Structure formats: structure tokens, C-alpha cells
A and B are shown apart, each in its own frame.
Chain A
Amino acid sequence: MKKLIKRSVKVRNTTEHLRQSEHYKTRDIVSAYGFLSPALILAILFIVLPIILAFTYGFTDYYLLKPNDKEFIGLENFKRMMTDEVLIQSFKNTIKFVVFVVPLQLSMALGLALIVNKKVKGVGFFRTAYFSPAVLSLVVISILWTVMLNPTSGLINELLANVGISKQPFLSSASQAMYTIIAISAWSGCGYQMMIFLAGLKNIDGSLYEAADIDGANAFQKFLFITIPSLKPILMFLVITTTIQAFKLIVQPMVMTSGGPDYSTITILQYIYEYGFRHRNIGYASAITLAFTIFLVVISIIIKKLFREEKAA
């Protein structure tokens, strides 16, 4: 992001001298603002205004059903967040999901990409097969897996029984539910990222591998010293987007577990939804929204920094 801003500032500097000698043409100004105004109006209404509202309501006790009764209560909401056990639980759940799903999904995606990058017959079939869950929507995936994971009559337990494993509770157990959601999310998401990795693999200069062959490098060394460094920009992009996406987990627990059992799968976004939308407790939910939004922005900046430093080193 910073890079983008820097780049646009640079563009500004290089065009500065042009601009000083050349006055704006009225026609251009009219056209430009005419073209821009629908987008700008919508952006202000639906992106900027919500953020402003989160800021203002976050410091009040606004309850949607009593709109005239909202009072400024300072940092009360934020103090309450510190001791709200369900919120802390949902934060822990969200972190757990991110910490497990990002490496799992990305390594699966990279593994699949390496398989379908082989130049052999029939590889197109495998590519389509691995990608196929990506055409299902999250709701379809969630319903399908809930049916298949039914503890008493589900397909998966039947299959496990065939290899002598006893029935598992999966989504209906507080200890297994989150890991089940993690596995399903990785299963459904990795095909898409496989395609992105694959595009990156295809871009690697083949002569690098030839040179390594001459130097007597083995397959693992080639992977570690050529493939991984060449994929770095793509890897960075995928880590950032997957991490941010993972923090916003909500559809799977909403459809599959409603956050249960025992709050074991409730996520932050889901908690905001429950408190703010279902219970109409706008003040407190806005405070959480505010904290969560800032948290996400900081996280994405930190990840970018980490990658950049590694690149420089």
C-alpha cells in the first residue's frame, strides 16, 4: 500500500512542471468530476461513512431500539471488551483458525501446483480436479460437509468405519469443531491458490534449474534455492490475502455450527454480527468493529514489513 502511495507521489512530482506551465482546461475538469462523482459519492456513503459511524458509536451505549437514548460513555465499551469472556474466546478462535489455516492451505496449494506443473500427459485433468471445489460457494461447501460429517449417519464416519476408525463427533464436539472447519476451508480454498502458484512456477526461468543440474543440486535443493525464492512475490501476496481473509471468517461457522458447541467456533466477525445485528447492541459492537478494523490494518502492514525486511536481508 505504502509503495502505491509512494508511486503515485512520484507520478505527481514528475508531472508537476507540466502542470505549472499548463492550466487546467475547464472541459477536462467538468468531464473528470462528472466521471468520478458516482464512484466518489458511493465510496463516501458506503465506505467512509461506516468508518466514521464506528468511531462515533463506539464510544456510546447506542441500542438500536432506543435511538434517542444514546449517551457518550467514553472508553467504557473498550474496558468491557477486556473482560468479555466470549469476545476473548472468539478472538482466540479466530487466531487459531488463522494460525492453522494459512500455512496448511498455502502448503497444500503449493504442493498441488508442483504436481500439476509436471509436463506429463493428463496433467490437465489433475489441475481441473484439484481446482473443482473452488466452483462451489462457501454456503454450498458448508452444507455439503455438514451433511457428510454427520456424527451418526454421515459419509465420512462410514468411510472411517471401513478402515476401523471409530465414529468421530466432528462439528458437534468443542474440541474437534474448529479443526474440522480449518480442514474444510483449506480443502475448498487451496485449488484457487494452486492456480496462482502455478502461474508463478511457469514464470521461473528454466535455465536456473539447468544451471543447478550442472552444479549437481538435488531436487530438494533446487526447490529450496530456486523455486521458493522465485515465488516470493506471489507467496507474499497469498500470505497477506489469505491471512486477512482468514481473520474475516464467518460463513462456515455461521452455517455449520452457529459458533458452537460451547462457543468453540465463534469468530470475531460473527460476534460483531450477533451483538450488533441480532441483539441490536450497536454501541458495543461498533467499538469491537473499530478495534477489529484497526487490528486488521495493522496486521497487514506488519506482514508486508516482515516480507520487505526479509527481501532486503
Chain B
Amino acid sequence: MKIVKKTLFYLMASLVALQFLLPLIWMILSSFKIDDLIYKDMDTIFAFVPRFSDLSLDSYVELLGFYNIFKNVGNSLIYASVTVVVGLTINSLAGYALARFKFPFKDWILIFIIALMIVPIEATILPLFLVVNEMGLINTIPGYLLPFIINVMNIFLFRQHFLSFPGELIESGKIDGLSEVGCFFRIVMPSSLNMYITVGILTFLASWNDFLWPVMALSNADLMPIQVALNAVFADTYNIFTSHMMAALTIVTIPIVILYIIFQKYIVEGSMQSGIK
């Protein structure tokens, strides 16, 4: 009886797993085939099971022949990294100030930050475009990056984190002659590494996946992040070979897979943290 139950469980769990895995397997396998083969294999098991003799890197070579995908992937990696480094610094400095210092209007600023957390940012994307446009920053990298470097949710998370930061550590830094800024960068930041990694990864993913804002803020093809470029390739040449498209999708997914493999723990913890509070 127990064995029957167990078998049923594995059977069900595997069937469910197939629904999630098969599209991805098909995407990756098809990127190693020529189009004829993709469509010939479609109603056979070989759509999902590799025959290693048929697989080749041709579609990748051909794709790179007419479209340098690494340029846009590189753009995205740079944008996401800059957003993480500058964003973490600015937001955590603000969170730290709200947690540590006593100063006039502190409570008002905190309430202001909390009130901004309820603004649905994407919903106000059009007036955001107008602001950046008035500043003359449309189609520039600062105009694209600055609006999403500020993140009030992260300010709040950092403030909560720093509230419980041991003050003696900072005092001892001061006795050693460090300034407030020195204390922050030499003592507070290094001892909150976990917090920074968690918030940093989530920021990186959000920036990497962003689509609507770069569509509006960057129209120059050389500056486009990969998500926008990918859509342009897909939409402009609707008759692009399926194998080329699948190769492009696979290339774009690889950096994130690597990120997940290294940081999975932080990603899940991070989304919990930002949610429950």
C-alpha cells in the first residue's frame, strides 16, 4: 500500500514537472538544430529527447553572423551592475541615516518614504517619461538608470536592518579615528554583507528583466538592453528562423541561470523579507 502511494506521488510529481520542463527543454534542444529538423521532430519524442548526432552549433554561429547579441547582453549586464552598486550605496546610506541619527524632521522623512512605497511605479511610467524628457535625458544612460536606482522599499529594508546594528561597533570605529562616512563604508557595510547580497541580487534581477521603461527611455539600438533588443529582433524579422530565435533565448537565459545557481538561497530569502515586513 505504501509503495503504491509512493509510486503515485512520484508519477504525479513527474507529470507536473514535465509541464514546466518540456518548453525549456524544447527551447534549448531546438537551438542546436536546423529549422527543418525542428519541424520534422515536432510530433515525435525527439522534440524533447536529444539525438546527439543531429545537434550542432550552426544556429548560434549563424545568429552571431547577422546579430551581435553579446553587445546587448553586455549592455544589460553593465546596466544591472551599475544599478546594483549605485543603488545599494544610495539607498543603504539613506536607510542608515534614518536608523542611526537623530535629526529634525526625521519622522516626517520616514513617513514620506513609507508613503512612497505605496505608489505603483510602473503605473506612473508616462509622467516619469515626461520628467526625464524635460531634463533632456531621454536616450541617455543616466536618464535610463537614475529613476530605478532609487528604491524606497530598499531604503526601508535597510533602515529596519540597521536599527539592530550594534552601536558599539560604530563607536569603536570612531575611537579609531574614522569619520561617519568612514564608519559606514569600513564597518557597517562589510558587516552587513548578507543584507547587501540579498537586496543586490533582487535589484540585479529586476533591472535585467525590465522591459517597459527601457522601451521608452532608450531608442538607440546600440544602447538597448537585451530584453528590448530581443523583442525588436523577434518583431522586426518575424520570419527569423526558429532555431536562431531559440539560440538567442538560450543565450539570454544563461547569465540568470548562473546567478540562480550561485545565489538561490539569497533570492528566496530576499523575496520573503521584502514581503513579510
Interface residues in chain A, defined as those with a beta carbon under 8 Å from any beta carbon in chain B? 1, 4-5, 8-9, 11-12, 19, 22, 24-25, 27-29, 31-36, 38-40, 42-43, 45-51, 53-54, 57, 112, 115, 118, 120, 122, 125-126, 129-130, 132-133, 135-140, 143-148, 153, 155, 158-159, 161-162, 187, 191-192, 195-196, 199, 233-234, 237-238, 241, 244, 247-248, 250-251, 254-255, 269, 272-273, 276-277, 282, 285-286, 289, 292-293, 296-297, 300
Interface residues in B80-115 (C-beta closer than 8 Å to A): 90-91, 93-94, 96-98, 100-104, 106-107, 109-111, 113-115
Q: A53-B131, A120-B6, A130-B16 are in contact. Are A33 and B123 (CB under 8 A)?
A: no
Given contact pairs A277-B129, A296-B123, a sample of 10 additional A-B residue pairs in the complex whose CB atoms are under 8 Å apart: A24-B104, A34-B181, A36-B98, A39-B150, A49-B127, A115-B12, A138-B209, A143-B231, A144-B246, A147-B242
Mostly helix, strand, loop or mixed at chain A's interface? helix
A39 touches B123 (CB 8 A): no
User: Which residues of chain B are near A130, meaning CB under 8 Å?
Assistant: 16-17, 20
Task: State the CA gap A81–B195 with chains docked (Å).
Answer: 45
Q: A51-B127, A54-B127, A147-B242 are in contact. Are A158 and B211 (CB under 8 A)?
A: no
Task: State the CA gap A203–B175 with chains docked (Å).
Answer: 43
**Pairs across A and B, CB under 8 Å, 25 listed:** A4-B117, A8-B114, A28-B103, A34-B181, A35-B93, A35-B184, A39-B93, A39-B155, A40-B94, A47-B119, A53-B131, A54-B127, A57-B127, A57-B130, A120-B9, A135-B253, A135-B260, A138-B209, A143-B231, A148-B23, A155-B42, A241-B275, A255-B234, A273-B216, A276-B129
User: Which residues of chain B are near A191, meaning CB under 8 Å?
Assistant: 20
B167 to chain A, nearest CB (A): 13
A196 touches B104 (CB 8 A): no
| Interface residue? B147 (CB, 8 A) | yes
A195 to chain B, nearest CB (A): 5
Mostly helix, strand, loop or mixed at chain B's interface? helix
Q: A5-B111, A155-B47, A277-B129 are in contact. Are A36 and B93 (CB under 8 A)?
A: yes
| Interface residue? B118 (CB, 8 A) | yes
